[in-house]
Amino acid sequence: MRTINKIGILALIVIAVACSSDKEDRYIFEAERVVDTETGDEYYLKSPDTMTVVHIDGVSEPVTVSSTPFAGSEELEKMMDRYMETLQKRKDSLLEQENERIRQQREERYAEYSDDELMERFNTLHEEDANFEQEMDIVAELVRREVVLEIDVPEILEIDPEDIDMNIDYQPEEDN
């Protein structure tokens, strides 16, 4: 009887250890996907708080990250950190591309003006109280050409420094 109890206790310990290590090995964390090796479910990260789980039968459904069976795990936290870093890099890259497009369009728009002519154009528009976007656009080009220092822009435009936007997306009307 004692031998059976000892074997039973030993078996329970082995099962407990096996189950705890299975839990750690059950999920495979990839870049933006988690695979449940036990059920075959795949969890795809769609946003910082939502995943789509695709079951082995092909049925998919949205779930919150906090309701997944691996929520709160260290691996999930690392995956989320990497995801957020990647997302920020994408945003930064898109913003830089947009700013470069704006700078190129601005440079082309004012290519026919000399520095003095462009400064005169700005002064005329400023005196006529033209729209802010157009004035800011011209001043940004004058700064790029180093005709005006960026530090002087608030005074020239008569605005607060926090209102300066050197990457303003000004779209001139066709009749101007």
Closest CA to 122 of 134, 109, 114, 105: 134
Amino acid found at 67 = S
Looking at residue 114, what DSSP letter applies? -
User: Is 83 in the same domain as 127?
Assistant: no
User: Is 69 in the same domain as 34?
Assistant: yes
- Say whether pLDDT at 11 is over 50: no
Q: What is the pTM of this model?
A: 0.64
Domain that holds residue 156: 110-163
Identify whether 74 is part of a domain: yes
Distance CA 6, CA 89 (A): 58
DSSP bridge pairs for 33: 44
User: Is 85 in the same domain as 120?
Assistant: no
Identify whether 103 is part of a domain: no
Identify whether 17 is part of a domain: no
Domain count, the chain: 2
User: Is 84 in the same domain as 121?
Assistant: no
Identify whether 11 is part of a domain: no
- What confidence tens digit (pLDDT) does each residue in 111-169 have? 999 999 999 999 999 999 889 999 999 999 999 999 999 999 999 999 999 999 999 99
Identify whether 19 is part of a domain: no
CB–CB of 98/84 below 8 Å?
no
Identify whether 94 is part of a domain: no
Distance CA 152, CA 140 (A): 11
Structure confidence at residue 173 (pLDDT): 80
CB–CB of 136/169 below 8 Å?
no
User: Is 114 in the same domain as 156?
Assistant: yes
